[in-house]
Amino acid sequence: MSDIVAALREALGDRVLTDADTLDAHRRDYWALAEIRDLLGRGAPRPRAVVRAISTEDVAQTLRICRAERTSVIPFGGASGVCGAIEANPNSIVLSTRGLNGLVRLNDQNLTATFRAGTLGIEAENRVRQGGLTIGHWPQSVEVSTVGGWVATRAAGQYSTAYGSIEDILLALEVVLPDGSVLRTRETPRAAAGPDLRQIFMGSEGTLGVITEVTFSLRPLPEASRGQAFHFASFEAGIEAVRRLMRVGWRPPVIRMYDANESQRSFRDWCPEGRNLMLLLHEGPASAVNAQIDAVAALTVTGGGEQTDATCVDNWLEHRNKVPSFREMNERGLVVDTIEVACTWDLVPRLYDEVTRSLREVPGIIVASAHSSHSYRSGTNLYFTFAARVEERERMPEVYRECWERTMRACVAVGAGIAHHHGIGRVRRSRLVDEVGDTGVALLRKLKRALDPDGLLNPGALLPPPGAEER
What residues from 100 to 119 belong to the interface with a second copy (CB under 8 A)? 107, 109-112
Confirm or reject binding of residue 185 to a second copy (CB under 8 A): yes
Q: What is the CA radius of gyration of the chain?
A: 22
* Residue 55 to residues 19, 51, 117, 397, Cα–Cα distance (Å): 22, 11, 10, 39
- Of the candidates 449, 454, 465, 468, which one interacts with a second copy according to CB under 8 A? 449
Confirm or reject binding of residue 67 to a second copy (CB under 8 A): no
Confirm or reject binding of residue 33 to a second copy (CB under 8 A): no
In whole angstroms, what is the distance from residue 176 CA to residue 60 CA? 6
Instruction: For residue 212, give every residue at least 6 positions away whose Cβ sits within 8 Å of its Cβ, in sequence order, or none.
Output: 53, 56, 59, 97, 100, 116, 117, 148, 174, 175, 176, 182
| 90/453 with CB nearer a second copy | 453
In whole angstroms, what is the distance from residue 193 CA to residue 423 CA? 28
Confirm or reject binding of residue 436 to a second copy (CB under 8 A): yes
- Binders in 191-220 for a second copy, by CB under 8 A: 191-197, 199-205, 208, 217-220
> Of 216, 156, 59, 228, whose CA–CA distance to 376 is shortest?
156
**From the CB of 219, what's the least distance to a second copy, in Å?**
7
- Binders in 140-159 for a second copy, by CB under 8 A: 153-156
Confirm or reject binding of residue 173 to a second copy (CB under 8 A): no
**From the CB of 135, what's the least distance to a second copy, in Å?**
12
- Binders in 275-314 for a second copy, by CB under 8 A: 284-285, 287-288, 290-292, 294-295
Give the range of 29-37, 140-148, 177-185, 392-400 binding a second copy by CB under 8 A: 177-185
**From the CB of 451, what's the least distance to a second copy, in Å?**
7
In order, the DSSP letters of 15-57 are GEE--HHHHHHTSB-S-HHHHHHHHTT-PPPPPSEEEE--SHH
| 177/390 with CB nearer a second copy | 177
Confirm or reject binding of residue 466 to a second copy (CB under 8 A): no
Give the range of 20-28, 44-52, 176-184, 259-267 binding a second copy by CB under 8 A: 176-184
> Do the Cβ atoms of 451 and 201 come closer than 8 Å?
no
CA angle 308, 349, 276 (to 5 degrees): 15
Instruction: Taking the CA atoms of 449, 450, 451 and 454 in sequence, report the sign of the dihedral they define.
Output: positive
CA angle 428, 265, 422 (to 5 degrees): 20
**From the CB of 233, what's the least distance to a second copy, in Å?**
20
In whole angstroms, what is the distance from residue 134 CA to residue 193 CA? 29
| 165/330 with CB nearer a second copy | 165
Burial class of 1 by CB neighbour count within 10 A (0 to 12, 13 to 18, 19+): exposed
Instruction: Taking the CA atoms of 409, 414, 419 and 421 in sequence, report the sign of the dihedral they define.
Output: negative
- Binders in 373-412 for a second copy, by CB under 8 A: 374-381
- Binders in 346-375 for a second copy, by CB under 8 A: 346, 374-375
* Residue 376 to residues 246, 350, 412, Cα–Cα distance (Å): 6, 18, 21
Confirm or reject binding of residue 443 to a second copy (CB under 8 A): yes
* Residue 371 to residues 138, 255, 349, 386, Cα–Cα distance (Å): 18, 10, 12, 12
**From the CB of 125, what's the least distance to a second copy, in Å?**
16
Confirm or reject binding of residue 428 to a second copy (CB under 8 A): yes
Confirm or reject binding of residue 430 to a second copy (CB under 8 A): no
Confirm or reject binding of residue 413 to a second copy (CB under 8 A): no
- Of the candidates 91, 450, 454, 468, which one interacts with a second copy according to CB under 8 A? 450
- Binders in 317-346 for a second copy, by CB under 8 A: 342-346
# residues contacting a second copy (CB under 8 A):
97
- Under DSSP, is residue 250 helix (H, G, I), strand (E, B) or coil? coil
Confirm or reject binding of residue 91 to a second copy (CB under 8 A): no
Give the range of 12-20, 58-66, 355-363, 430-438 binding a second copy by CB under 8 A: 430-438
**From the CB of 356, what's the least distance to a second copy, in Å?**
20
Half-sphere exposure of residue 107, counting CA atoms within 13 Å on the CB side? 9
What element of type H or E holds 454?
none
Q: At what angle do helices 396-414 and 32-39 cross, to 10 degrees?
A: 160
**From the CB of 434, what's the least distance to a second copy, in Å?**
9
Confirm or reject binding of residue 224 to a second copy (CB under 8 A): no
